[in-house]
Amino acid sequence: MRLLRNVALLVPAVRRLWDSRNCLLTERDALLTERDALLTEHNMEGRLKNDDEWFELQFRPEEALKKYGVMLPTLPSDEVQISFTGLCGRANLQQAFNFYRYICSVCQINDIREPRILDFGGGWGRVSRFFLRDTLPECIFISEVREYAIQCIRATGNRCQVIHNQPRPPILELTGLFDLVYAYSVFSHLSGEYVHAWINYLLGVLRPGGYLVFTTNGQQFIDNLEHLPLETNDPNLQELFRRLREDLPLPEEIRRRHLKGEFQFYPLGVGAELTSDFSGETLIPRSYIEKNFISFFVDFNENVPNVDQSVVVFQKPA
């Protein structure tokens, strides 16, 4: 190629050929951009507005591509999925989908053309895949503290912008401001210091009027603690249940503190990148949220269908 370029500089006929080749390449790029824009418009114009259809398409990626031009990432193995959320298959996606629908209903994200979205602690990309009908993959950022999670996202062929962040803010690779930042089951595992540091930081990367939506442990977590199974088939879950039984106070004590409005963090540290100085089980009651973040507070919902944690909604003042 270098030789051809050098010859092209010397011989006028070859140079003309070289120039027309470059023109064709530019034209091809323009056509590809136009095709992408048309596909986006095709989605945005509403053919993919049907929620049930969009959920079912997660299991029929060829149809999503053929009919709507949406290239869905693949799904990881059941084992990988369980290692993130204790669930797999349809039930796992259903939980993520219900969270996604709740976000859309509260934050009117569908009113924005190509919204910029950050999935903080995005795991293998379970939730972010649903936003692929609302915006372009390059407008979706997924950040993760664990190298393992980054590998899992990449293994699904996810085309969103994937960032490996440090346990503490900032996230240096982030560019521009976001319309929406969300985090499922991340603030249910961080210490008080980290929760405050990350909430303040994530509010800072929102545009005025943008939303921060996150989940944390609450009443449902305490109910589950009261009914932890003694036996499971999964050795990792078995070990987690043992630690929840042995390293945490009794459920009635946790409930008492929760109802009193206490922020509770129990360090459990479950891996090299999730050390016990900042990682464990966290419960944040509504009154604590209201007291500490009143100027951003929009909603606290413990009953989002299928979602096993409390969902908190903040909005950055416009």
Q: Does 98 bind ligand SAM (CB under 6 A)?
A: no
Total residue count of the chain as it appears in this document:
318
In the complex, the smallest distance separating the C-beta of residue 57 from ligand SAM, rounded to whole angstroms, is 19
Please state, in angstroms and rounded to a whole number, the distance separating the CA atoms of residues 311 and 245.
Answer: 25
Q: Does 122 bind ligand SAM (CB under 6 A)?
A: yes
Q: Does 184 bind ligand SAM (CB under 6 A)?
A: yes
Report which secondary-structure segment, H or E, holds 311: strand 310-315
Please state, in angstroms and rounded to a whole number, the distance separating the CA atoms of residues 51 and 76.
Answer: 23
Residue of 72, 103, 117, 186 interacting with ligand SAM (CB under 6 A): 186
Residue whose beta carbon is closest to ligand SAM: 123
Please state, in angstroms and rounded to a whole number, the distance separating the CA atoms of residues 12 and 24.
Answer: 18
Q: Between 42 and 164, whose beta carbon lies closer to ligand SAM?
A: 164
Q: Nearest CA to 117 among 151, 71, 160, 65?
A: 160
Residue of 116, 146, 258, 316 interacting with ligand SAM (CB under 6 A): 146
> 77 φ, ψ to 5°?
-65, 160
Give the other-Cβ count within 10 Å of 234's Cβ: 13
Q: Does 121 bind ligand SAM (CB under 6 A)?
A: yes
Q: Does 141 bind ligand SAM (CB under 6 A)?
A: no
Q: Does 216 bind ligand SAM (CB under 6 A)?
A: no
Residue of 123, 251, 280, 285 interacting with ligand SAM (CB under 6 A): 123
Q: Between 116 and 189, whose beta carbon lies closer to ligand SAM?
A: 189
How, if at all, do strands 117-120 and 161-164 pair? unpaired
| Measured CA angle at 150 (ends 144, 155), to 5 deg | 145
Q: Does 145 bind ligand SAM (CB under 6 A)?
A: yes
Residue of 143, 217, 282, 315 interacting with ligand SAM (CB under 6 A): 143
Alpha carbons within 13 A on the beta-carbon side of 88: 10
Query: Looking at 12-20, 48-56, 179-187, 290-298, which segment touches ligand SAM (CB under 6 A)?
Result: 179-187
Q: Between 101 and 189, whose beta carbon lies closer to ligand SAM?
A: 189
Q: Does 167 bind ligand SAM (CB under 6 A)?
A: yes
Q: Does 285 bind ligand SAM (CB under 6 A)?
A: no
Please state, in angstroms and rounded to a whole number, the distance separating the CA atoms of residues 185 and 311.
Answer: 10
Q: Nearest CA to 287 among 306, 273, 300?
A: 300
Q: Between 8 and 80, whose beta carbon lies closer to ligand SAM?
A: 80
> What SS3 state is found at 207?
strand
Question: Which residues are near ligand SAM by CB under 6 A?
Answer: 84-85, 121-123, 126-127, 143-146, 149, 165, 167, 184-186, 189
